[in-house]
Structure 1
Amino acid sequence: MGEEPLSRAIADSYVRLRPLPDSLHRKAMRLFREYMLVGGMPQAVETYIRTRDFHRVDEVKRDILKLYRDDIAKHAGSARRRVTLLFDGLVSQLSQHEKKYRVSSLEPNARMREYDEAFFWLADACVVNDCVNSTDPTVGLSAYADRATIKCYMADTGLLVTQALADSNVTEDDIYRDVLLGKISINEGMLTENVVAQLLHSSGHALYFYSRNDRDDASRTMEIDFLIVSRYPNAAMKPRVSPIEVKSSNRYRTSSLDKFKERFSGRVGLEYVLHPKPLEVRGDRRYLPLYMAGLL
């Protein structure tokens, strides 16, 4: 789309830890929202570049979603019914405040282990990105992975937008533009967290999160959206756990991040808050604009 100079400016800003000028930041956020709506499927991107018509883009994405369902019917074998249930339940699950997938909402008395094959099928087909709870976060996040507690993100956020707006036959161009400007009530937090999962996965990160609910001690209850391992400058560049919180609005709190830092201080290195505002550094906590998620 001819934005290579802006892309280089963003990368330079990330490396130097200096915010972009306000005009470039606003432009980058606008393009980021466009990307979130259109997604990264080649046919959808090509259609948007050629037409700049969200109506046409949405038609393309609806066709892709139909192909996904056709593939599930043809190739999922004995897991077909549960794969379909999982796929159709994605928007509902991601719309919840706690985005952990509850299979009991799909079938009475259902258990996660009964859906292992269905989750694997969707991830292996690159339809979803699974994010696993690491119950005792260390630099070996997989060592404490609890696969009974997972979040399941759509691999392409543009498809999630179309799935979320599936009630209408065709999502009109003006509806998309209202979403772009934040004027209608679509779950922006769902879309923002999903696109960050997509970008982290594309950058090579396995997806983990941290969740703890302690009814006896509220100070130990916390939810960290994502965990990655990165080198920590204040520990001779040794690897440390980096918690990531995703914020879709300019006003927010970071209570879970504060609790996580206090509880696991010896394991935590750099902390990240991904938000719509410009870059800011406060000690070991880096507040990065959402469009930098793919640089982590």
Structure 2
Amino acid sequence: MERFILKKLLDWKNSPYRKPLILKGVRQVGKTWILKEFGRRCYENTAYFNFDENEEYKQFFETTKDVDRILQNLMLASGQKILPEKTLIIFDEVQDCPKVINSMKYFCENAPQYHVACAGSLLGIALAKPSSFPVGKVNFMQIDPMTFAEFLLANGDENLAQYLEQVDTLEPIPDAFFNPLYEKLKMYYVTGGMPESVLMWTEARDVSAMQEALSGIIGAYERDFAKHPNLSEFPKISMIWKSVPSQLARENKKFIYKVVKEGARAREYEDALQWLVDARLVHKVYRSSAPGLPIAAYDDLSAFKIYLVDVGLLRRLAQLAPTAFGEGNRLFTEFKGALTENFVLQTLITQFEVMPRYWSQNNPPYEVDFLIQRENDIFPVEVKSEANTTSKSMKKFKELFPDKVRLRIRFSLDNLKLDDDVLNIPLFMADQADRLIGLALEQLQK
């Protein structure tokens, strides 16, 4: 499988300002594979240490802060070779090893000649704890589920992936590309972007193995809930997680604690929800009161929507059968377009540094699905799960904030076009949003 993060890893390797790397990402998103593959492609050799499988290795970090001594001990204990500049040292499953994480400070300060990368499945949780974390001494990188473009490459559709990359005018996509891309997107909604699920589909074309892979991943996440330091939170985390499909199935997708449990109050469930957000198993999108900068200054902290880390996992958790993807647009419209919104959010998160927000008002009711910040502009985004779309909310948003809206963006099953100041992006081009917005802004300035 080809993962685009390999290019970022290569930039890290070659950077004159390189520090030890912490690679964050949920369980089974491909962290270990990507680091080993990077080591194989770009280094003479790789030294791999897994602190879950070899707990005794942790001791080497507890007795000394001397990097050379630590590496000497690791080499002797494992029989692996470590050479400065030529070896990629991988420390895996470090989420329960504060001393290993803390040692990155000494690697950074005293031994910059070593290339070190750390990974772990609940690192977001570990790093949220106020332990002696090596602030400013590490580089961070996030690995997310495979994008639609990566899925196309895994599926053997290099021609389609290549075509999407080279679209440089805002003109309709010819049917010869539009139709197969639309069909492949339906498949992606079913498999999602978790590498194991994608592999079961692209290599074996085995739907039941793919379903099983997704169930296995969900099971692994649910077992992780028990790792919350306060065991009484475990059932709450589980209830919030299982409520996500019901939350998204509602017309107004704002998160409501009562959907989790009758009579539930925010203060009882806040910690459990924060655990899921820190673990990056769910994405929390706040309501914004206006498109101003900084975007966080306009957050309404009492109103937010929750999405899952991956569209395939959402489909599996919602128990939607894969057969839905053979039935026209049904997969896109099934449970109020929630899969489509989840998919679009997934792609926006990988392209824009700032977490998207959404905007709504009550009387009369209007809602813009997402607000994205690109450089110093904020753009309203509407997600439609069908074609031929009109939108009162986008119109209203422009009326209310005429000076702030340079461009409005709609993701739908319509073709690519710039219609006055509305850029319509076909859903299968969501990965290209950043680039297409740039093209649209250039065109509007002419």
Give the TM-score, by structure 1 length.
0.86
Give the RMSD, CA atoms, in angstroms: 2.1
Q: Distance in 1 between matches of 2:263 and 2:251?
A: 22
Contact 1:211–1:223 (CA<8 Å) still a contact in 2? Answer: yes
Amino acid of the residue matched to residue 397 of structure 2? F
Hey, what's the Cα distance between the residues in 1 that align with 2:222 and 2:290? 37
Determine if the alignment matches structure 1 residue 284 to structure 2 residue 425. Answer: no
Asked if the contact 1:113/1:148 (under 8 Å) is kept, the reply is no
Distance in 1 (CA, whole Å) between partners of 2:193 and 2:402 is 37
Quote how far apart the aligned CAs of 1:274 are.
0.4
- Per-residue deviation, 1:116: 2.5
Q: CA deviation at 1:187?
A: 1.9
Deviations 1:83-110 (A, max 9, x none): 1111010110000011111002223443
Residue equivalent to 1:156:
310
Residue 250 of structure 1 is matched in structure 2 by 387
Matched, 1:209 2:358: yes
CA–CA distance in structure 1, aligned partners of residues 388 and 422 of structure 2: 17
Q: Residues 118-197 of structure 1: matches in 2 within 5 Å?
A: 118-165=272-319, 171=321, 175-178=323-326, 182=330, 186-187=334-335, 189-197=337-345
Find the aligned partners of 1:276 and 1:76 in 2 and give their Cα distance. Answer: 45
Deviations 1:121-142 (A, max 9, x none): 1122121111111112213211
* C-alpha distance in 2 between matches for 1:286 and 1:184: 20
Q: Secondary structure at the residue paired with 2:290?
A: coil
Task: Report SS of the residue matched to 1:129.
Answer: strand
Q: Deviations over 1:242-271 (max 9, x none)?
A: 100001111432100000011111111211
- 1:30 and 2:160 aligned: no
1:112 matched residue in structure 2: 266
Aligned length: 277
CA distance in 2, matches of 1:68, 1:158: 14
For 1:73, give the aligned amino acid. A
Please report how far the alpha carbon of residue 115 of structure 1 lies from its aligned counterpart in structure 2 after TM superposition.
2.7
Q: CA deviation at 1:163?
A: 1.0
Shift of 1:56: 1.5
1:213 CA displacement: 0.4
Give the Cα–Cα distance (whole angstroms) in 2 for the partners of residues 278 and 176 of structure 1: 23
**Given that residues 190 and 325 in structure 2 are in contact (C-alpha distance below 8 angstroms), is that contact kept between their aligned partners in structure 1?**
no
SS of aligned partner of 1:148: strand
Separation in structure 2 between the aligned mates of residue 176 and residue 52 of structure 1, nearest angstrom:
16
How far apart, CA to CA, are the structure 2 residues paired with 1:183 and 1:75?
35
1:173-207 deviation digits (Å, cap 9, x = unpaired): 6x254357638983261111111111111223412
Q: Is residue 332–residue 386 contact of structure 2 (8 Å, CA) maintained in 1? A: no
Moved more, 154-163 or 106-115: 106-115
- Which of 237, 240, 248 is 1:83 aligned to? 237
Match of 1:234 in 2: none
Contact 2:332-2:339 at 8 Å conserved across structures: no
Does the 8 Å CA contact 2:247/2:255 hold for their aligned counterparts?
yes
CA 267–111 in structure 1, closer or farther in 2 if over 3 Å, else same: farther
Change in Cα spacing, 1:125 to 1:179, as seen in structure 2 (3 Å) is farther
Please say if 1:263 is aligned against 2:400: yes
Inter-partner Cα distance in structure 1 for 2:413 and 2:332: 18
* Per-residue deviation, residues 152-189 of structure 1 (Å, max 9, x unmatched): 001111011111117xxxx5x6x254357638983261
Q: What are the Cα deviations for residues 48-82 of structure 1, in whole angstroms up to 9, with x where unaligned?
A: 11111222201110111111111112336342222
Q: What do the CA deviations read for 1:192-242 (whole angstroms, capped 9, x no partner)?
A: 11111111112234121001102xxx3xx31000001236xxxxxxx3221
Change (3 A) 1:115 1:192: same
* Structure 2 counterpart of 1:71, one-letter code: D
| Aligned-pair identity (%) | 31
> What is the alpha-carbon distance in structure 1 between the residues aligned to residue 359 and residue 350 of structure 2?
20
CA distance in 1, matches of 2:267, 2:287: 15
Distance 1:273 1:209 in 2: 14
Look up the match of 1:55: 208
- In structure 1, how many angstroms separate the alpha carbons of the residues matched to 2:420 and 2:238? 46
Alignment correspondent of 1:235: none
Kindly tell me: are residues 24 and 144 of structure 1, through their superposed partners in 2, closer, same or farther at Cα, counting changes over 3 Å? same
Contact kept, 8 Å, 2:356 with 2:373, in 1: the verdict is: no
TM-score by length of 2: 0.58
Q: Which has the higher contact order (CA 8 A, sep 6+)?
A: 1
Rounded Cα–Cα distance in structure 2 between residues aligned with 1:4 and 1:124: 35
Shift of 1:113: 4.0
Secondary structure of the 2:189 match is helix
